[in-house]
Amino acid sequence: MNSPRRPAAAATCVEGHLPRPGAGRRSPLLAALAMIATLGTGLGGQALAQDEVMITSHGYSTFGELKYPADFPHLDYVNPDAPKGGTISISAQGTFDSFNPYSREGRAGALSTIGYESLMIGTADEVSADYCLICTHLEYPESKDWVIFHMRPEARFSDGTPLTAHDVVFSHMLLLEQGLPSYAQAVGALIPMVEALDDYTVKFTFGEDVPRKNLINQAGGTPIWSRAWYEETGARLDESRLEISPGSGPYVLDSFDINRSITYRRNPDYWGADLPINQGRHNFDVIRVEYFADATAAFEAFKAGEYTFRQENSSLQWATAYDFPALNAGHVVRAELPNGNLPPATGFVMNLLQPQFEDRRVREALALMFNFEWTNRALQFGLFEQRESFWQNSALAAHGVPEGRELEILESVADLIEPEILTEPVTMPHTSGEQQLDRTNLRRAVALMEEAGWTNGPDGLLRNAAGEVLAVEFLSDNPTLDRIILPYIDNLQRLGVRATYNRVDPAQYTNRERSFDWDMILDGYNNNLEEGIGLGQRFGSDGLGDLFNPASFSHPAVDRIIEMVIDADSFDEMAAGVRAIDRIMRREMFIVPTWYNPNFWVAYFDMFEHPDPLPPYALGHLDFWWFNAERAEELRAAGALRR
């Protein structure tokens, strides 16, 4: 299950982008909380099974040992002596009308989750480890049937009120009652009971017949909101709102101007500032987000110094546009920084709920019409690499012919998959020639369409036996995608597809995306370097209709292997299962794979500094970078900054 720490919206991808959730009523949630409080007292002392080992720790990792001991002074990748102060400003595109990212209603402002914390937090140099933040330590039996978190009494919300175990229980129940239905259904079965044993001790009891992997991380990652605020305001988690509930995090919402800017300010009374896990972090006094209608306006504003940090997502601009006075004068740094994260599994996603994509041969024919080689060379300056796997550049990516444990897993579902998967090399993206339209691939696509029952009529359009035209609409909200999508549409039209391109405003795109009212979009999946319960939400039948599964993909063999991955008790067993899933999904071709970038492209005014080297799994510019006040004054004196 994907943690609710992330906004409940499908990841979006543009060219070069890394992928992108009634007042006055007394909620029935309060009755549920009262019942839990009544029932919970007797369960807190639940006995261990005979001879069962009890584990106490300052953190938890799914596989292997924790990197950091209980007495670690700070994370290895931070500068513990980084100065506090200054402002960093970034850009956002489009509009916002809400600060509630946990609802499908409205369009949440950038960084809307910045003020909320959870019991545990991950690091940028480990894959699946979480360490106590609001807790001091956790304890659980060897069976992992439950976990108890012992909380820090000093934890406070930004309004100064204590953060207690009752707020944790409330937050869990609020997500079940008012969160996304897919999340509530899944987590309700995994964690049916959460109880406050006292004001600062909370227990999560896990379902009897559910896998234990990732459940402790899931429990520890629940965002925590103020019960008192929700009770006093009557606000709901499933509604769009501009009023924001107090969080316990290092930043608070300072001010906003609808569709123009948002300002977050570091809380000078942040309760956790002195914790070892927070040393060298949260260094900026102010984080500001400047909104722009389009990418062109945003870039021009950066050149003029209206905002100060830019993560570039356009190969065209990266290759051609970084020639302006502030850069040439040395006021702006332009850098490629290593990115060890798993690349998002992006591409042209087909909505499998639409009937025209039902036949795999049709999907393969459509994929053959996208010319990555020509696109990358002619339109993207050769800056990208082609994505092959859903778990690109990791130990979870399938290669060659299946063997060993991966083959055994595939053989266990042989009755549910095509026989070729067991004997042939893994499906790879096709190659194309130097021209926009590769005629060899066009002939292959025509043959596949004929096999699937689609033939060209007198008007050149593909029709099935019922006389229906094969129509595909591409939906986008980003003008920078025009030059990428339009040549692909031209190629599809040469095949005989009635392909159209519809670029809409961001609000309309969000609404249509969430309701699955589209044929194809440039989007994808955010996967993990270690997989577990979340696989079911992204690629299992239980995830149909979920925004984390944009293609609405499901497959009976994948469902069965997901269970094996969740039950895996070692990294190698988990990896073999994921490779088998990767192999099946690549064969299904429900995404036309596009590109990925192994580096972060960044440009920033030369008043920010960062640790060197950076940790493998985060850029961290809003987390552990810091402000050089002396250099900022020099830039202001030179007239390089507007604010």
Question: Where do the structural domains in the chain lie, given as residue ranges?
Answer: 29-73+116-233, 251-340+598-637, 350-596
Predicted pLDDT at 339: 94
Q: Residue 106 and residue 112: Cα distance in Å, rounded?
A: 12
Interval 214-252: pLDDT, tens: 899 999 999 999 999 999 999 999 999 999 899 999 999
pLDDT band at 47 (very low <50, low <70, confident <90, very high): low
Q: Which residues contact 463 (CB under 8 A, 6 or more apart)?
A: 454, 455, 456, 457, 469, 470
Q: With a cut of 80, say whether residue 16 has pLDDT above it.
A: no
Q: CA nearest 477: which of 514, 505, 438, 442?
A: 505
Phi, psi (degrees; rounded to nearest 5) at 278 = -105, 0
Contact 169, 36 (CB under 8 A): yes
> 251-340+598-637: CATH homologous superfamily?
Periplasmic binding protein-like II (3.40.190.10)
pLDDT band at 545 (very low <50, low <70, confident <90, very high): confident
Give me the chain's average pLDDT, please. Answer: 91
In terms of pLDDT, which residue wins out, 457 or 558?
A: 558
Q: With a cut of 60, say whether residue 599 has pLDDT above it.
A: yes
By CB atoms closer than 10 A (0-12, 13-18, 19+), residue 69 is: exposed
pLDDT band at 533 (very low <50, low <70, confident <90, very high): confident
DSSP assignment string, 374-431: HIIIIISTT--EE---TTTTSTTS--SS--HHHHHHHHHTGGGS-THHHHSPPP----
- Diameter over CA atoms, the chain: 78
- Compute the average pLDDT of residues 352-372: 98
Interval 146-183: pLDDT, tens: 999 999 999 999 999 999 999 999 999 999 999 877 77
Predicted pLDDT at 188: 87
Interval 125-154: pLDDT, tens: 999 899 999 999 999 999 999 999 999 999
Predicted pLDDT at 258: 95
Q: With a cut of 60, say whether residue 7 has pLDDT above it.
A: no
Give ∠ CA 611-613-618 in degrees, rounded to 5.
Answer: 80
Phi, psi (degrees; rounded to nearest 5) at 533 = -60, -35
Q: What percent of the chain has pLDDT over 90?
A: 82
What pairs with residue 568 in β-bridges?
Answer: none
Predicted pLDDT at 55: 96
> 350-596: CATH homologous superfamily?
Dipeptide-binding Protein; Domain 3 (3.10.105.10)
Predicted pLDDT at 50: 62
pTM of the predicted model, to two decimals? 0.84
Q: How far is CA 626 from CA 7, 86, 133, 160, in A?
A: 26, 8, 22, 27
Interval 601-624: pLDDT, tens: 999 999 999 999 999 999 999 999
In terms of pLDDT, which residue wins out, 467 or 64?
A: 467
What is the 8-class DSSP label of residue 114? T
Q: Do domains 29-73+116-233 and 350-596 have the same CATH topology?
A: no
Fold of 29-73+116-233: D-Maltodextrin-Binding Protein; domain 2 (3.40.190)
Sheet holding 286-292, edge to edge: 87-93, 286-292, 261-266, 251-257
Q: Which residues contact 161 (CB under 8 A, 6 or more apart)?
A: 226, 228, 246
Q: Residue 594 and residue 584: Cα distance in Å, rounded?
A: 18
